[in-house]
Every structure is written in C-alpha cells, then in structure tokens.
Amino acid sequence: MTLTKFEQSGFILETDSGYRLAIDIGSYTPLERLAGISVDAMLVSHIHGDHFSIEQIKKLSPKKLYLNRECIEMIGEETLSSEIIEVKVGNQIDIDDIKVQFFNVDHGPNVKIRPKENFGFLIEADNKKVYFAGDMFNPSGIDVTSLEINDALIPVGTFYTFGPKEALAFAKKFKKIGKITPMHYHKTPETREEFIKLATNKGFYIN
C-alpha cells in the first residue's frame, strides 16, 4: 500500500493490487496536477470546498463516489460519471479489498458553514491501518486509545482544526502510530514545520 499526499487534506491510497482510492482531493489541488491520474473510488469527508470539489471529482472521474447526504444535495443538477453511494456516520463498508469505517469528528466553533456530518475514516488495506482525522478541532470520533495505526493523517493548521500542539496531544492518545502525515496547513505552512519539530522531539516519525 502506498499513500500519495496532495494539497490540504487530499490523498490517494493505492493498494498492492493497484486499486486507487482518493480521499478529500478538493479545490486547493490544481486541476493540472491531476492530469493523467485516474482513481477507482473516492471518499469525501464533508461539504467544504477544500475537501469536496465537483471540478476535481470530474477530473479524477472515480467509478464510485462515497458521499454523505449533504454533499449529494450540493451536486444538484451536475452530471457526474461516477456511481454515487450515500454513506453515514457509523457505516462500515468494503470498497474492493479496502475496509472503511466512517465516524463523525468535531469541526470546532470557528466554521462559518457547519457540516451536518464531518467524517473521519479508519481505513484497512493490505493488512495496514490508516486513520484519517478529517477536519478535527476537538478530539472526537472513535476511541483511539487501543488503536495501532500504520499511518495517522492529522490536521495541524489551527483555527478550523487542531493546531500543532493539539495535534501532538491527540497523537499521544493512540496505542501506537507508525508514522504521522500532517495535513490541512495549506494557508499556514509554518504550522506544519512547528508540528514536525514538536512531534519528532517526542519520537514520532513524520512522513
């Protein structure tokens, strides 16, 4: 399994068999960066444009698109080539050989448009576990204290999500993390650098 990072909170997970799952590739990723890239399926955590963008979805053209009801309603009259599958908090589904658990995370008090559902994802593929915290401002969602994770994808950008110190405190709650990939710092790149310093000083491996 490989994980490729894109702008803000975007990723593409590719399994050993070549199946590609996109996650939250939104408006901050230039369309030209997606040229020649195709994916089999895509997850979207919530309605905000840096996570959910119809233009980026069209460019990637996933065969299957997993959205909550709020995102589906936002599509409106747009025509997409993807099969749209509605998902909810608490769902546990199989996407090819990938298992995904959906949980709700607290986006905090600063968002102007509050999502009705703001997903985090626990993903299992190729005998590895990936925890995607979404736009988490306060520790929330599933209990992580007994989780052993290969990859933890954690926001560090402050104001709308964890800042560096809060992200580190949250990472310490896990039973074990193989490596951490900071995300959601596009407008505040200095928060990534601060987090890296804090986390490496505590023995975490940063991707």
The residue assigned the tokens 């040229």 is 35
Report pLDDT digits (tens) over 103-151.
Answer: 999 999 999 999 999 999 999 999 999 999 999 999 999 999 999 999 9
Report pLDDT digits (tens) over 3-43.
Answer: 999 999 999 999 999 999 999 999 999 999 999 999 999 99
Tokens (6 digits) for 38: 């195709």
Provide the CATH number for the domain formed by 2-201 in this structure: 3.60.15.10
Burial of 103 (0-12, 13-18, 19+ CB in 10 A): buried
CA-to-CA distance for 101 and 172, rounded, in angstroms? 21
pLDDT at position 127: 97
* Helical pair 164-171 and 189-201, crossing angle rounded to 10 deg: 40
Q: Which stretch of 77-81, 84-88, 131-135, 192-196 has the lowest confidence by average pLDDT?
A: 77-81
Compute CA 154 distance to the chain's CA centroid, rounded to the nearest angstrom.
8
The model's pTM: 0.97
Q: Where are the domains of the chain?
A: 2-201
Asked if 90 contacts 97 with a C-beta cutoff of 8 angstroms, the reply is no
pLDDT at position 18: 97
Give the residue, 176 or 76, on which the prediction is more confident.
176
